[in-house]
Amino acid sequence: MATDKDFERIALSLPGTEARPHVDRTAYRVRRIYATLAPDRQSANLMYGPSDQKRFCAARPDAFFPLPNKWGEKGATTIILSAVSEDELREALDRAWELHQ
């Protein structure tokens, strides 16, 4: 089971990543935001495209789901941290990071 601390550690280990406040969340970015940690620190949003969103959601529908809005239609995906292993979290963050360099 991954935690918010795992999320922060992994995200900040990715080259060039900075954490900054973004509305009510903490945003992780390189050139653009690739992930945001929710205020309750139980979930995060990952900025994918539709094909990556589909792949992650199909593989683990209990852990990944599209945001229920226009951002979700474009690939923004919520991950429930407690539903994934640290390795799954790393894979999910790595892919979002790759897309936003």
Give me the pLDDT at residue 77, please: 98
Mean pLDDT of 55-71: 97
Q: Which helix (H) or strand (E) holds 8?
A: helix 4-13
Work out the number of other CB atoms within 10 angstroms of the CB of residue 33: 16
Pick the CATH number of 4-77+90-95 from 3.90.1150.30, 1.10.630.10, 2.40.30.260, 3.60.20.10: 3.90.1150.30
Residues 57, 65 contacting (CB under 8 angstroms): yes
Q: Is the pLDDT of residue 101 over 90?
A: no
